[in-house]
């Protein structure tokens, strides 16, 4: 882009200004979606796995929503500057601010340019929260769906002995596991929306370059391209978070079923199942005191073994939770470094996201997943994003040729 002679088309620049308003609104929707629906509703009695995931999701929401809000603000502020540029390019022969000053009399901001070109989007967006689950499913629901009579045993034991075996055995996994699937959909929808905003901005930037030449045009092109590249980076982030939460949800479900089946096998001698009416009866002994005490110990031991097995599985699931946390902290670091201008060259994050890559590939291996991780590992677009709104220039700079 060297040796360009200045030229400008006010209608095209004004149309671009309007497009940036729309893109800014879409980015605002993506930010609101994360802010309003990006938390994990884990419930007051959630176990440590869900509590840990809730903390990770709070960190995720803070990091992503803040960045989306910043990108949205860039679009809106730059749109104002482009609208002003359309006015002072209105009479390009004058190459001064006379036309602009005339429309600014008594105004804090220039009115919208009166003949903007019509820009079309590559993607029409409507960034909204995915439908919530029809019902909340927790570990107890899962036990009922897979081993129905176990809940009956739990109820009978609770009546007889005053404690819930299911709550005892599965305490670390308690929480609405299908909330993870909802939450993954929120992050995928929001981040892919931002990715498409980047494609919309890229197309609009390419169009205006055909009719706007010179130094100011080149500076806008560089700033806008840095924005669209940064937006495109977020699509893979959202897809990876979705897959990671899906992995965590799958692990929790499998763990609950495995623990329940372990307990089931140990309880078979202690219950009578009427298959005709699907009623479970605890086989109480004839000697009330001795029978109850002996049987309580046997039932307790069955659920204690289930609890011990649960602890082993929880430790495995915790590895996925830790990998998700490491991933979020890895993407947070370059964002904060770029925002605070700590480093000109951002440190690579490939090693920090590798544990999650291994976990996700167990549920969704393929070229697209590998490509998404490779794109996220390249943080140059984050460091290159222009964070100050575009400014056309002072004095004669807006009309300067590109040297």
Cα 301 to Cα 168, 267, 308, 313: the distances in Å are 12, 10, 10, 18
Over the chain, what is the mean pLDDT?
83
pLDDT tier for residue 93 given thresholds of 50, 70 and 90: low
pLDDT tier for residue 142 given thresholds of 50, 70 and 90: confident
pLDDT digit string (tens) for 273-283?
Answer: 444 333 344 54
pLDDT digit string (tens) for 314-373?
Answer: 898 889 888 888 888 888 887 777 666 544 455 667 777 888 888 887 667 678 888 998
pTM here? 0.86
pLDDT digit string (tens) for 200-252?
Answer: 999 999 999 999 999 999 999 999 999 999 999 999 999 999 999 998 989 99
Average pLDDT over residues 105-134: 83
Sign of the C-alpha dihedral computed for residues 169, 172, 174 and 179 taken in this order: negative
Write down the domain spans for the chain. Answer: 10-115+135-388
Contact between 151 and 143 under an 8 Å Cβ cutoff? The reply is: yes
Q: Which pLDDT score is estimated for 189?
A: 96
76 pLDDT more than 90: yes
Burial string for 8-46 (b: 16+ CB within 10 Å, else e) reads bbbbbbbbbbbbbbbbbbbbbbbbbbbbebbbbbbbeeb
Element (H, E) at 272: strand 271-274
11 pLDDT more than 90: yes
Higher pLDDT, 335 or 80: 80
pLDDT digit string (tens) for 388-397?
Answer: 999 998 888 8
DSSP state of 93: T
């Amino acid at each position: 882009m060297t040796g360009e002679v200045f030229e400008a088309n006010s209608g095209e620049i004004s149309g671009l200004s309007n497009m940036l308003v729309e893109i800014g609104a879409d980015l605002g929707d993506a930010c609101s979606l994360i802010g309003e629906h990006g938390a994990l509703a884990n419930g007051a009695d959630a176990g440590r796995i869900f509590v840990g995931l809730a903390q990770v999701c709070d960190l995720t929401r803070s990091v992503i929503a803040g960045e989306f809000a910043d990108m949205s603000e860039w679009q809106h502020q730059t749109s104002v500057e482009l609208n002003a540029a359309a006015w002072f390019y209105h009479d390009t022969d004058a190459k001064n601010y006379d036309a602009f000053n005339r429309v600014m009399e008594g105004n804090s901001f220039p009115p919208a340019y009166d003949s903007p070109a019509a820009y079309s989007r590559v993607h029409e967006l409507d960034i909204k929260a995915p439908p919530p689950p029809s019902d909340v499913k927790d570990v107890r629901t899962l036990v009922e769906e897979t081993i129905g009579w176990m809940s009956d045993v739990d109820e009978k034991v609770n009546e007889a002995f005053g404690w819930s075996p299911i709550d005892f055995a599965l305490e670390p996994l308690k929480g609405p596991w299908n909330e993870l699937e909802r939450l993954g959909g929120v992050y995928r929808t929001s981040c892919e929306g931002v990715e498409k905003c980047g494609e919309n901005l890229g197309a609009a930037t390419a169009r205006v370059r055909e009719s706007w030449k010179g130094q100011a045009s080149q500076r806008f092109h560089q700033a806008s391209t840095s924005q669209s590249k940064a937006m495109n980076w977020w699509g893979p982030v959202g897809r990876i978070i979705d897959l990671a939460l899906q992995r965590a949800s799958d692990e929790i479900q499998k763990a609950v079923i495995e623990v329940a089946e372990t307990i089931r096998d140990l309880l078979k001698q202690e219950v009578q199942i009427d298959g005709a009416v699907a009623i479970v009866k605890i086989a109480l002994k004839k000697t009330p005191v001795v029978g109850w005490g002996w049987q309580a110990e046997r039932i307790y031991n069955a659920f204690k073994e289930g609890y011990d097995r649960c602890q082993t599985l929880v430790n495995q699931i915790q590895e996925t939770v830790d990998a998700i946390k490491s991933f979020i902290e890895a993407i947070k670091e370059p964002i904060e470094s770029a925002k605070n201008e700590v480093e000109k060259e951002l440190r690579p994050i490939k090693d920090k996201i590798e544990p999650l890559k291994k976990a996700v590939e167990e549920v969704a291996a393929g070229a697209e997943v590998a490509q998404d991780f490779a794109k996220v590992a390249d943080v140059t677009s984050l460091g290159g994003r222009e964070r100050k709104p575009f400014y056309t220039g002072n004095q004669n700079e807006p009309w300067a040729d590109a040297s």
